[in-house]
Amino acid sequence: MNFKDKKVAVLMGGMSKEREISLRSGRAISSALQKQGYKITDIDVGWDVDQQLRQVKPDVAFIALHGRYGEDGCIQGLLEILKIPYTGSGPTASAVAMDKVLTKKALRLLDIHLPEDWVFHAGRVLHPNNQKTFETNCLRHLPLIVKPNREGSTIGMTIVRQKEELTAALKLALEHDSTVLVEQYIAGTEVTVGVINGRALPPLEIVPKSGFYDYQSKYTKGMTEYIVPARISPTLTEELKKTSEAVFHEMDLEGVARLDFIVSKDPQKKGVKDSPFFLEVNTIPGMTETSLVPKMAQAAGISFEQLAEEILQGASLKVSR
């Protein structure tokens, strides 16, 4: 749809722990669209977002919100109620993709390698027997990754290498979510794949200097090297692209998404060398000019301005169409 002569609201900021990252994404998108002649109004989303939208009265919304209330279906549901077309996935797809446990349950229907996992609920922490059984099951598979179920940017995430570290890791994750996902740690190469409107971009390899792609490695300049296209075989490249497109369609995603994988180099994992394990999907990935999806798009010959415009042109109502 052509929104060239329409009022476009770029929604950024928000109330999640990824607010500052969202502001960076939103400002970059706003600037890119203004350069192309779009009529842009920036909205720093607050708890009164419904009033903000009624005051601005946009014809379309470009969602540049990360984390809760922006990436989990909440803002999408509000925009559906207000009949304002918006970018990205709908309320249900956004909510499922934000929930790591639900995502893995949905994708077990596909032939995709997933790390073995255990789910820990806050309500069970108070019962010593339940906690002991849970910890015993997990600790047979060290090392582990412990992370909040519905949080992004590796917030609250810990690598557990020794059994004594598990309790503290669970407590940290529970500070951010009532449900914690504990996964088998897969050693290997981190690779991510961007998908735009159903078509996969060239995979990008992530090489954190610390050895772990945590919050500091993501957002501190010089802490991580990004290589696109990834240094993997042509066969594996096609497999990752095909898998990413399959996940995109299976989860009913729209617009742009980024899918994260670990390519295991341990032949003992699943008995297959260089086997890709799916980790999670991000339905509103970072959108600064140095973010990962723009890097992949650039490798495919798509400029940042073109990328922003293509995402905008795909804006629509999902529930009521």
CATH number, domain at 221?
3.30.470.20
**Residue of 216 and 290 predicted with greater confidence:** 290
Residue 134 counted as domain residue: yes
Share of the chain above pLDDT 70, in %: 89
pLDDT at 282 over 90: yes
From 156, 282, 291, 309, active-site residue: 282
From 13, 70, 156, 286, active-site residue: 286
Q: Are residues 168 and 296 in the same domain?
A: no
Q: Are residues 196 and 280 in the same domain?
A: yes
What's the average model confidence in pLDDT over 206-225? Answer: 70
pLDDT category of residue 28 using cuts at 50, 70 and 90:
very high
Q: Are residues 67 and 165 in the same domain?
A: no
pLDDT at 217 over 70: no
From 24, 258, 264, 309, active-site residue: 258
Question: Which domain does 137 fall in, by range?
Answer: 117-184
274 tagged catalytic? no
From 13, 14, 16, 18, active-site residue: 18
What CATH number does the domain containing 81 carry?
Answer: 3.40.50.20
Summarised one tens digit per residue, pLDDT across range 101-127 is 999 999 988 888 999 999 988 765 544
* Placement of tokens 């979510």 in the chain: 177
Q: Are residues 123 and 82 in the same domain?
A: no
Whether the Cβ atoms of residue 193 and residue 240 lie closer than 8 Å to each other: yes
From 89, 153, 275, 291, active-site residue: 153
Q: Are residues 243 and 277 in the same domain?
A: yes
Whether the Cβ atoms of residue 100 and residue 147 lie closer than 8 Å to each other: yes
Q: Are residues 278 and 237 in the same domain?
A: yes
Give the residue from 87, 105, 130 where a domain finishes: 87
pLDDT category of residue 214 using cuts at 50, 70 and 90:
low
pLDDT category of residue 167 using cuts at 50, 70 and 90:
confident
Q: Which pLDDT value is given to residue 1?
A: 75
Helix axes 74-81, 49-56, angle to 10 degrees: 40
The 3-state DSSP class for residue 228 equals coil
Residue 293 counted as domain residue: yes
For the chain, the average pLDDT equals: 89
pLDDT at 267 over 90: no
From 69, 215, 219, 226, active-site residue: 219
Q: What is the largest CA-CA distance in the chain?
A: 62
What's the average model confidence in pLDDT over 134-157? Answer: 86
Q: Which pLDDT value is given to residue 290?
A: 79
Residue 236 counted as domain residue: yes
Q: Which pLDDT value is given to residue 271?
A: 47
Give the residue from 146, 165, 184 where a domain finishes: 184
What's the average model confidence in pLDDT over 143-166? Answer: 89
**Residue of 58 and 122 predicted with greater confidence:** 58
258 tagged catalytic? yes
- The domain tally of the chain equals 3
pLDDT category of residue 269 using cuts at 50, 70 and 90:
very low
Q: Is the peptide bond before 229 cis (omega within 30 degrees of 0)?
A: yes
From 42, 72, 190, 260, active-site residue: 260
286 tagged catalytic? yes
18 tagged catalytic? yes
Give the residue from 184, 200, 234 where a domain finishes: 184
Whether the Cβ atoms of residue 246 and residue 239 lie closer than 8 Å to each other: no
**Residue of 191 and 208 predicted with greater confidence:** 191
**Residue of 4 and 90 predicted with greater confidence:** 90
Q: Which pLDDT value is given to residue 127?
A: 47
Q: Are residues 198 and 242 in the same domain?
A: yes
Q: Are residues 211 and 167 in the same domain?
A: no
pLDDT category of residue 203 using cuts at 50, 70 and 90:
very high
Q: Are residues 64 and 25 in the same domain?
A: yes
Q: Are residues 103 and 250 in the same domain?
A: yes
- DSSP 8-state code for residue 214: -
Q: CB-side exposure of 313: number of CA atoms within 13 Å? A: 12
Residue 320 counted as domain residue: no
What's the average model confidence in pLDDT over 37-66? Answer: 96
| Paired sense of beta strands 188-196 and 256-264, if any | antiparallel
Residue 313 counted as domain residue: no
What CATH number does the domain containing 131 carry?
Answer: 3.30.1490.20
Q: Are residues 151 and 293 in the same domain?
A: no
Summarised one tens digit per residue, pLDDT across range 2-23 is 898 899 999 999 999 889 999 9
d(CA 156, CA 174): 8
Q: Are residues 161 and 250 in the same domain?
A: no
